Chains A and B, each alone.
Chain A
Amino acid sequence: MTGMRRKPASTVSMDPAPEQLPLPARPVSQPVEPPLAALLELTHRCPLQCPYCSNPLELERVQSELSTEEWCRTISELAMLGALQVHFSGGEPTVRQDLVDLVRHARDVGFYTNLITSGAAITRQRFLALIDAGLDHVQISFQDAEPNSAVRISHVPNIQEKKLTFASWVRESGTPLTVNAVIHRQNIEHIDAMIELAVSLHANRLEVAHVQYYGWALANRAALMPSRAQLDFVTERVTEARERYRGKLVIDYVVPDYYAHQPKACMGGWGRQFLNITPSGKVLPCHAAETIPGMQFASVREQSLADIWAHGEAFQRFRGTDWMPEPCRSCDQREIDWGGCRCQALAITGNAAAADPACAKSDWHAAMQEIAATAVDAPSLPDFRYRRMGAGKH
């Protein structure tokens, strides 16, 4: 699991030119659209300790993880529900010894399968078994293009070597590759090298992903927040590279929330397209939803996914527009951004039902900008608080 906000599979119209096709908005009382995609956090175990990990501070332990049978049943239920893609993530999903079986099962029930990995915990033989099982796509996260910096951020010796070796296996297999470059204050100036890295690995796609501040990243915000000048630099470099590599490398890039004026449709709208399943089987509308106090999350161990998706309290809570207070309620963007990110609203305002402070209409917008400015202007850079089992407790 990387530090970016997981985007759901997006829908686009093909006529005449591909563009975002908003699904029809429906009041909560009407039948709920089936999800497009699910992020399966198979495990929270991971050899890396990235300080921006989007896993919760309270990591789930191996004893609580779903069994192979439970994951297979869950994947079958997802297919019945109408989901089209599954993203195998974590933690590091390749530490699950049954990953090959899970990928094969997902293909058998019709899914497009995606592996989101550090690439640092798998042998060539097991990777080839995944391809043999029908894996469709691989996303590798990179901490930096500069090896020493990648070691410092991941806290794993020789991390770059391992990743580059893994990426070469992906390339040899012909499997499409996305490079996920997570950028922040301490590596953002290496953007050109990260773009060149993606090109040299023959990646189809590069996600230049600004850290999103919840989970571990929120705990490390002061060490990670880029300055406005850094942001402008990276935006300019990405714009230039998009032109230079047109038709060769697709670069996904969005301005980070702390410097934005319009919120993003987090998860494509709460409970609209996407769900997240934790290692122990809790079903979440987004991977940070557990930060919201007082919310009950049903488990695939106790309830059917169809029931959880359609009626689960957590999914109904912010689904649609009925829950919205002002300024969202009367805003003409309410079915475009769906109020933005609930977890970010909570983190900044203390109220998960408030407008996302990334929005210029939010009363907290200036406060959010002030948080970024304070972090950037601090006289010294705080040490990273690395992601480790047990290190999330205050």
Chain B
Amino acid sequence: MGLPAETRPKLARGIRLQFDAARDQWILQAPERVLVLDEIAAEVLQRCTGEADITAIIASLAAAFDAEPGEIAADVDELLTGLIEKRIIAT
């Protein structure tokens, strides 16, 4: 696990999460890029409001998908760490 549990991730300025009706998928609008999200990534990012910390995000996902928090934690960490490096998620 890389990210501290108390991190409160949010979309960086200039990044927009939206549903792309023309292609029936969730996307992130970023500078000169469109990132296509799979179902899990879309669920994670909808919870990155700047209010919830990592622990709360994982708990919320675990409840929504009836899964063990431990199974979700690594995926969330990997996704968010990558997006922080790309300056798509701010902390």
User: A170-198 CB contact bits vs B (8 Å, 1 = yes)?
Assistant: 00001110100000000000000000000
How long is the Cα–Cα vector from A234 to B37 in the complex, in angstroms? 34
Closest to B12 in A: A176
B3 close to chain A: CB less than 8 A: no
Which one of A37, A82, A85, A205 contacts B23 once the chains associate, using CB atoms below 8 Å? A82
- A82 and B22 form a contact (CB under 8 A): yes
**Interface size class, chain B:** 20 to 34
- B38 and A137 form a contact (CB under 8 A): no
Also in contact, A11 and B36, with CB within 8 A (given A18-B86, A250-B87): yes
- A174 and B32 form a contact (CB under 8 A): no
B73 close to chain A: CB less than 8 A: no
Also in contact, A16 and B78, with CB within 8 A (given A34-B23, A246-B85, A250-B86): yes
B82 close to chain A: CB less than 8 A: yes
- A176 and B38 form a contact (CB under 8 A): no
Also in contact, A9 and B41, with CB within 8 A (given A82-B22, A204-B87): no
How long is the Cα–Cα vector from A36 to B36 in the complex, in angstroms? 11
Q: Label chain B's interface by main secondary structure.
A: mixed
Distance (whole angstroms) from the CB of A39 to the closest CB of chain B: 11
- B85 and A247 form a contact (CB under 8 A): yes
Closest to B37 in A: A14
- B13 and A13 form a contact (CB under 8 A): no
How long is the Cα–Cα vector from A82 to B38 in the complex, in angstroms? 19
How long is the Cα–Cα vector from A36 to B35 in the complex, in angstroms? 11
- A174 and B13 form a contact (CB under 8 A): yes
A378 close to chain B: CB less than 8 A: no
Also in contact, A14 and B79, with CB within 8 A (given A114-B32, A178-B32): yes
- B36 and A13 form a contact (CB under 8 A): yes
User: B79-91 CB contact bits vs A (8 Å, 1 = yes)?
Assistant: 1001111110000
Give the residues from 95 to 140 in chain A that come closer than 8 angstroms, CB to CB, to chain B: 110, 112, 114, 136-137, 139
A295 close to chain B: CB less than 8 A: no
Which one of B14, B29, B36, B87 contacts A175 once the chains associate, using CB atoms below 8 Å? B14
A21 close to chain B: CB less than 8 A: yes
How long is the Cα–Cα vector from A184 to B40 in the complex, in angstroms? 43
Q: Which residues of A are found within 8 Å of B85, using beta-carbon distances?
A: 246-247
Distance (whole angstroms) from the CB of B84 to the closest CB of chain A: 7
Also in contact, A18 and B16, with CB within 8 A (given A11-B35, A36-B34, A84-B27): no
Beyond A15-B41, A37-B34, A204-B87, 17 additional contacts (C-beta under 8 Å) are A7-B32, A9-B33, A10-B33, A11-B34, A12-B33, A14-B35, A14-B37, A21-B36, A82-B22, A85-B32, A112-B16, A114-B31, A136-B16, A139-B31, A204-B12, A246-B85, A250-B87
Which 7 pairs, one residue from A and one from B, show the smallest C-beta to C-beta distance? Answer: A82-B22, A176-B14, A14-B41, A112-B29, A137-B31, A9-B34, A15-B38
Q: Name 21 interchain pairs, CB-CB below 8 A, sorted by A.
A: A9-B32, A12-B35, A12-B36, A14-B41, A15-B38, A18-B83, A21-B36, A82-B22, A84-B27, A110-B18, A112-B29, A114-B31, A136-B31, A137-B32, A139-B31, A176-B13, A176-B31, A178-B32, A204-B87, A246-B85, A247-B87
